[in-house]
């Protein structure tokens, strides 16, 4: 799989871009030229210079520093939301596919309910009850979007349960938990990993959208959505201000989508005709 992954052009590009994003997040204190929260009214809306490579915003804060620290906040929030989806969806999907019967019916009905709810409407309800915050929006995504993981895992688990080695394990007297962990779970991970990589890019977009609307991260947080919201009054006079956070969001989403598509091609080479993208 690793050899096929290296052969895929999309996977290489996506992996390189994701690697750069991770390095930026890890090395943010070293890469940021200035304090992202330091206000200097005397230098507000300054043009790019040696001290501020991408200029400053309406409060004189370094735009590049806020972009770098924003990568850490945005990516960590997206990964956290996706991890919560996995923690909820994967066990429920395995339980539905492995147990069947009323357990499968119950889990699938709950999944149908979660799939039918709108994240935007639930986010408004949560914000109305507990106030706007990035943690609340992450919780909303995890509470709804686990359903797609449960469906994918259930379908893969049903397929795995028909295989001979699972039948042999049941005949040998292995316990249900042992079969689920040792035989079912490893064989349903490949579609889950691909879906998770693609889902991170989608979550980044939605987190930025909610922060832009004032429902997610709140000023003065160094968040890409907050930066986009701050730039609205200066769209006609300082268009570059809105270009940088928009480009950061677009490039990060593209990176995870390329990586997810390349990973899918590497895990299922027969669907791609057994050849690389080169």
Contact 215, 123 (CB under 8 A): yes
14 lies in a domain?
Answer: yes
pLDDT of residue 203: 93
Domain range for 16 is: 2-37+54-272
Mean pLDDT value across the chain:
84
DSSP-assigned states of every residue in 136-164: HHHHHHHHHHHHHHHHHHHHHHHHHTTSH
9 pLDDT exceeds 60? yes
Q: Does residue 26 belong to any structural domain of this protein?
A: yes
58 within a domain of the structure (yes/no): yes
> Whole-angstrom Cα distance, residue 215 to residue 224?
13
To the nearest whole percent, how much of the chain has pLDDT over 70? 92
Identify whether 49 is part of a domain. no
Considering only residues 1 and 30, tell me which one the structure prediction assigns the higher pLDDT.
30
Per-residue confidence at 157, pLDDT binned at 50, 70, 90? confident
Q: Three-state DSSP class for 197? A: helix
Q: Supply the CATH number for residue 135's domain.
A: 1.10.3720.10
173-191 residue pLDDT tens: 676 677 777 777 777 777 8
**Which is higher by pLDDT, 50 or 171?**
50
Q: Find out whether 205 and 145 touch, Cβ atoms under 8 Å.
A: no
7 in any annotated domain: yes
How far apart (Å, rounded) are the C-alpha atoms in residues 198 and 149? Answer: 12
Phi, psi angle pair for 33, to nearest 5°: -70, -20
Residue 28 lies in a domain: yes
Q: Answer whether residue 276 shows pLDDT above 50.
A: no
Query: How does residue 101 score in pLDDT terms, banded at 50, 70 and 90?
Result: confident
DSSP string, 86-127: HHHHHHHHHHHHHH-HHHHHHHHHHHHHHHHS-HHHHHHHHH
Mean pLDDT within 115-142 = 87
Neighbours of 117 (CB within 10 A): 13
Q: What is the model's pLDDT at position 273?
A: 45
CB 168 within 8 A of CB 141: no
Q: Residue 203: inside a domain, yes or no?
A: yes
Please report the pLDDT score of residue 175 as a whole number: 66
Confirm whether 11 is domain-assigned. yes
Work out how many domains the chain is built from and give that number: 1
| Cα(234)–Cα(251) distance, integer angstroms | 23
* pLDDT the model gives residue 272: 46
Whole-number Å distance between alpha carbons of 72 and 226: 14
Could you tell me the pTM of the whole model? 0.86
């Amino acid at each position: 799989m690793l050899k096929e992954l290296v052969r895929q052009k999309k996977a290489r590009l996506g992996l390189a871009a994701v690697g750069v994003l991770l390095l930026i997040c890890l090395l943010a204190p070293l890469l940021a030229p200035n304090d992202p929260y330091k206000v200097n009214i005397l230098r507000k809306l300054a043009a790019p210079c040696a001290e501020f490579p991408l200029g400053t915003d309406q409060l004189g804060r370094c735009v590049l520093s806020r972009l770098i620290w924003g990568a850490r906040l945005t990516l960590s929030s997206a990964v956290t939301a996706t991890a919560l989806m996995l923690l909820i969806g994967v066990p429920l999907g395995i339980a539905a596919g492995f147990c069947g019967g009323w357990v499968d019916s119950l889990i699938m009905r709950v999944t149908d309910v979660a799939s039918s709810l709108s994240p935007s409407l639930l986010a408004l309800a949560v914000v109305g009850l507990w106030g706007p915050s990035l943690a609340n929006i992450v919780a909303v995504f995890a509470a709804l979007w686990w359903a797609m993981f449960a469906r994918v895992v259930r379908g893969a688990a049903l397929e795995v349960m028909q295989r001979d080695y699972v039948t042999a394990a049941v005949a040998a007297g292995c316990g249900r938990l042992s079969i689920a962990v040792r035989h079912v779970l490893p064989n349903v991970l490949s579609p889950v990993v691909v879906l998770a990589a693609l889902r991170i890019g989608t979550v980044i977009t939605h987190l930025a959208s909610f922060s832009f609307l004032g429902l997610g991260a709140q000023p003065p947080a160094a968040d890409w959505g907050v930066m986009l919201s701050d730039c609205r009054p200066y769209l006609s006079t300082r268009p570059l201000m809105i270009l940088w956070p928009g480009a950061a969001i677009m490039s990060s989403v593209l990176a995870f989508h390329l990586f997810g598509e390349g990973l899918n091609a590497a895990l299922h080479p027969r669907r791609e005709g057994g050849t690389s993208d080169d």
